[in-house]
Amino acid sequence: MSEAAFTELQRVFSSLLSAGSTSSSLADTLADRAFDLFEANIDAQMAHLPALACAKGCPSCCALRVTATAPEIFLLARYVRSIDEYASATALGSLARRVKLANRATQGLSEAERMQLRQPCPFEVRGGCIIHPVRPLACRGHASFDRRACAQAMAGRDVDVPVSAPHVALRAVVQDSLRAALAAARLASDLYELNQGLALALGHPERERAWQDGQDSLAPARIAPAASTDASLGRRPDGDAAAIPDGER
pLDDT per residue as tens digits for the range 105-132 = 999 887 778 777 878 889 988 778 889 9
| Maximal CA-CA distance, the chain | 51
In whole angstroms, what is the distance from residue 172 CA to residue 175 CA?
A: 5
* Overall domain count for the chain: 1
Can you give the pTM of this predicted structure? 0.85
If one compares 157 and 206, the residue with the highest pLDDT of the two is 206
Q: Check residue 88 and give its pLDDT.
A: 59
Which residues span the domain enclosing 165? Answer: 3-238
Q: Check residue 229 and give its pLDDT.
A: 45
In whole angstroms, what is the distance from residue 81 CA to residue 47 CA?
A: 37
Determine contact, residues 151/53, Cβ cutoff 8 Å.
no
Q: In the predicted model, what is the mean pLDDT of the chain?
A: 83
Range with lowest mean pLDDT among 4-13, 21-30, 43-52, 66-75: 43-52
Q: Check residue 209 and give its pLDDT.
A: 96
If one compares 166 and 60, the residue with the highest pLDDT of the two is 166
Note whether residue 246 is domain-resident.
no
In degrees rounded to 5, what are phi and psi of residue 125? -125, 120
Q: Check residue 231 and give its pLDDT.
A: 43
For residues 232, 236, 240, 246, the Cα torsion angle rounded to the nearest 10 degrees is: 0
Note whether residue 97 is domain-resident.
yes
Judged against a pLDDT cut of 50, whether residue 235 lies above it is answered with: no
Could you give the C-alpha distances from 222 to 66, 101, 161, 225, 234, in angstroms and in order? 12, 19, 28, 9, 24
Find the helix packing angle between 26-45 and 3-19, rounded to 10°. Answer: 150
